Amino acid sequence: MENDILLLEKVAQFVLTGNGEKPNSSIVAETLIRCENQAKKTKEKHSFESLIGNWRLCWVSGTQKIRKQAGFVKGGGLYIPSFLNLQIIYSRHPHPLLKIEKPPEIDAGIIQNCVKLNQFNLTLTGPAKFLDKKNILAFDFTYVTSKLFGLNLYEGKMPGTSSNSEKFYQDSIKNQAFFAFFVITPNLIAARGRGGGLALWTKV
């Protein structure tokens, strides 16, 4: 496991700086799958607190459906190019964009998905809840902000979402988007998404 984490750190280093070793994508996929299998054996529990911070997406494998359409199921994936800054931000309540109260018994917070490309910024914001039994984070994006050269293009409710965000906390995870985390360290997180894809982030 230690050697696997070291390899994933090389992936993060390359994405952040453009320097150092760039592990082959198929090796990255195999490493993540090994980490996932190991996490299932150890069953170490985490919490939302361990996710708090800004995380830059380094590498993704795509969903199972996309991989099948591309002609491969195992292995493969791609590095996120340096010019495309994709970040996920996890933070605690309260948040100025979300006027909702979370039930005190739920380990929950705020998720933001940020896309930065040149002078264009897009941020999706919404509630998130953490289920420690399987280290699953369920989430929903309910608010969107888009800017170009610092000027607001749109800021408001996410099109197609319910106006009652509180309902999110009562809904079953079966009906929600989620990440199943299997690597959580101070500098790296990795998860499998609902669609079966793998993703690796590094802290920034």
Round to whole Å and give the CA distance between 128 and 73. Answer: 29
Residue 161: per-residue pLDDT: 64
Round to whole Å and give the CA distance between 50 and 182. Answer: 12
190: left (phi over 0), alpha (psi -120 to 50) or beta: beta
Residue 134: per-residue pLDDT: 92
- What's the mean pLDDT when you consider all of the chain? 89
Round to whole Å and give the CA distance between 42 and 67. Answer: 28
Confidence of residue 64 (pLDDT cuts 50, 70, 90): low
Round to whole Å and give the CA distance between 71 and 130. Answer: 34
Q: Is 177 helix (H, G, I), strand (E, B) or coil?
A: strand
pTM of the model: 0.91
Q: What is the mean pLDDT of residues 87-116?
A: 90
Q: What would the pLDDT profile of 161-174 be if each residue is shown by its tens digit?
A: 655 566 888 888 88
Residue 166: per-residue pLDDT: 66
Work out the percent of the chain whose per-residue pLDDT is above 70: 90
Residue 75: per-residue pLDDT: 55
Round to whole Å and give the CA distance between 63 and 118. Answer: 27
**Contact by Cβ (8 Å): 122, 144:** yes
110 pLDDT more than 90: yes
197 pLDDT more than 80: yes
Confidence of residue 159 (pLDDT cuts 50, 70, 90): confident
Beta bridge partners of 91: 110
Q: Is 131 helix (H, G, I), strand (E, B) or coil?
A: strand
Confidence of residue 74 (pLDDT cuts 50, 70, 90): low
Structure tokens at 40: 């299932």
Q: What would the pLDDT profile of 17-41 be if each residue is shown by its tens digit?
A: 999 989 999 999 999 999 999 999 9
Residue 100: per-residue pLDDT: 78
Q: What is the mean pLDDT of residues 196-200?
A: 96
